[in-house]
Chain A
Amino acid sequence: MNFDLANVLVFLLLGAITAGLMLGLGWLLRPSNPEPKKLTTYECGEPPSGSAWINFNIRFYLIALVFVIFDVEVAFVYPVAVAFRQFVLDGRGLVAFLELFVFVGILFAGLIYVWAKRDLEWLKRVGQPG
């Protein structure tokens, strides 16, 4: 197991090392002529108007919140799904099925709630009911 984990660590580092080596090689070879005009932010050739670090749309937060709930659910279903086969082979399949069914059912009710609240609509206008 430690051998496998060492391998995983090596592969995680390998990506960073490869990128670093390629960029390092480039640093030795490439030209560097910085110039104020060249270093401006690209905005279709116009001088950029203000910073881009602005408040962006709330829709992205809503999607992220719904995602967090569902992703935690997926993470919880994984171990049950692994144990499910053993339960079925032991003849207790119905118990496992009902347990998972209740869990997934509650989350499905949550999805219906979010849907009914119109938080899944991308084009949600201000002042719309819900």
Chain B
Amino acid sequence: MQQLADSLLQTGFLQGVPTEAGYALVIAFFAFVLLNFIMLIAGVTSWLERRVWARIQSRVGPNRVGPQGVIQWLADGIKNIMKEDIVPAEADRPLFKAAPYLAMMGFFATFAVIPFGDGLVVADLNVGVLYITAVTALVVVGILMAGWASNNKWALLGGIRSAAQIISYEIPAGIAVITVVLFTGSLSMQTIIRAQGWAPWDWFLFANPFLCIASFIFFVSALAEGNRTPFDLPEAESELVAGAFTEYSGLRNLLFFLVEWGNLYVIGALYTTMFLGGWQIPPITEQPVIQGALQFATFFAKSYFLVFVAMWIRGTLPRVRVDQLMTLCWKYLVPITFANLIGAMIWFVLFPNGLAIMRFAMFALGVAVTIYFFSRILFHLRRARPRLRLNPIS
């Protein structure tokens, strides 16, 4: 990003502007662009999620505002801005008001290191992955603060549950990230992507069995850290009203949900970076702009597919209980990730340059699993069709 700023200062339309002012302009410009991107992503995800669940549950979903309801999220936002803001008299006012700010800060800061393309990253920090785990912890503080400051029993339970859940699942997620770091020797997001290739068999997902296991563990832990079903205990509607956000109304409530929907995309982007080869595409054109756009499209498609998978899981699975949640983390995921880390180290010492046969075998296995999965779906669709024709009402 600094090279871009420098080249703009020397030859581009920022010529003649003082260096610091030029830098500030470039930073402000990209911050503005990404702000719009984040808002758009969070909003469209909220609409798409409702449409996808509706489809899964044989409903229609929001389809009135705009074609197919695409700007439903804008209508919801305007409605929430016009809503009265209620702070309970018993609540701790400053903490109650500060909580959404903390959650938003932790969420926005992650976007500074997400690599959308070859040079398309705001700040390619050399501690990239560690930085993301650090700033996402701010969201926990926000939720815990919201739960405590509300002075409400539901909110308190939701807040401390959320804190316990998120910190527990940070252990398997962190160790799964370490498994990737072992093979790249760097924490920088761009270096992790460059260590992979554009072809699926060059992705870390298929590089060896240990990374494949780590990828699944990371996805499950990330879902738990993002408070997604089947781990959405902090806001379990059926038992805790709205969890930590019970006392929040209107816009403040919306900010927390904005963070949740946006975090879905962050999960997808992190997973894509570490296991799915990020923005890597074969060199198609000489034009840097077109190449960059294609890289962005690749990265976006991969990460948004994972967002879709998360919606799909939410529409399919029931919520787990608190004790099941803790058992899953501490008695299954943590020991498995430790063993997996040891296994990955042994593998790396034995084959420092990777094993091409294993790579292709893993890829073939992945293709076979995908084909089997879709054949099952086709089978059930074919079986369901005659029944539907006989009895259209059911």
Contacts and interface: CB of A to CB of B under 8 A. Distances in A.
Contacts of A48: 90, 152
A94 interface: yes
Residue with the highest number of chain B CB atoms closer than 10 Å, among A4, A7, A15, A78: A15
Q: Taking chain B's interface residues, is the majority helix, strand, or loop, or is none over half, making it mixed?
A: helix
B41 interface: no
Nearest to A83: B185
Interface in B104-119: 104-109, 111-113
A120 B175 contact: no
Interface stretch (B164-172, B210-218, B288-296, B378-386): B164-172
Contact of B109 (A15, A42, A93, A123): A15
Contact of B108 (A14, A39, A86): A14
Interface string A43-83: 11000100111101001100110110011001001100111
A12 interface: yes
A14 B35 contact: yes
B105 A16 contact: yes
Given A30-B82, A42-B247, A71-B167, A122 B327 contact: yes
Interface of A: 3-8, 10-16, 18-20, 22-23, 25-27, 29-34, 36, 38-44, 48, 51-54, 56, 59-60, 63-64, 66-67, 70-71, 74, 77-78, 81-86, 88-89, 93-94, 97, 100-101, 104, 107-108, 111, 115, 120-123
Contacts of A41: 88, 90-91, 150-152, 247
Contacts of A101: 342, 345
A76 to B, nearest CB: 11
B160 interface: yes
A37 B35 CA distance: 38
A18 B251 CA distance: 12
A48 B252 CA distance: 23
Contacts of B124: 4
A113 B101 CA distance: 40
A74 B175 contact: yes
Contacts of A86: 185
15 contacts: A8-B123, A8-B125, A10-B28, A14-B108, A18-B104, A18-B108, A19-B101, A19-B255, A26-B85, A29-B81, A30-B85, A34-B86, A48-B90, A70-B334, A84-B345
Instruction: Give the 9 A-B CB pairs with smallest separation, nearest first.
Output: A85-B185, A15-B108, A122-B323, A4-B123, A15-B104, A93-B349, A15-B105, A11-B112, A74-B174
Contacts of A12: 105, 108-109, 135
A97 B349 contact: yes
B89 A3 contact: no
Q: How large is the interface on B (under 10, 10 to 19, 20 to 34, 35 or more residues)?
A: 35 or more
Residue with the highest number of chain B CB atoms closer than 10 Å, among A36, A43, A81: A81
B122 A26 contact: no
Given A51-B90, A52-B156, A104-B338, A7 B112 contact: yes
Given A12-B108, A42-B154, A6 B255 contact: no
Given A52-B150, A63-B168, A88-B348, A20 B82 contact: no
A51 B108 contact: no
Nearest to B153: A52
B335 interface: yes
Contact of A104 (B182, B331, B341): B341
Nearest to A94: B349
Contacts of B349: 88, 93-94, 97
A71 B222 CA distance: 16
B330 interface: yes
Contact of B323 (A53, A104, A123): A123
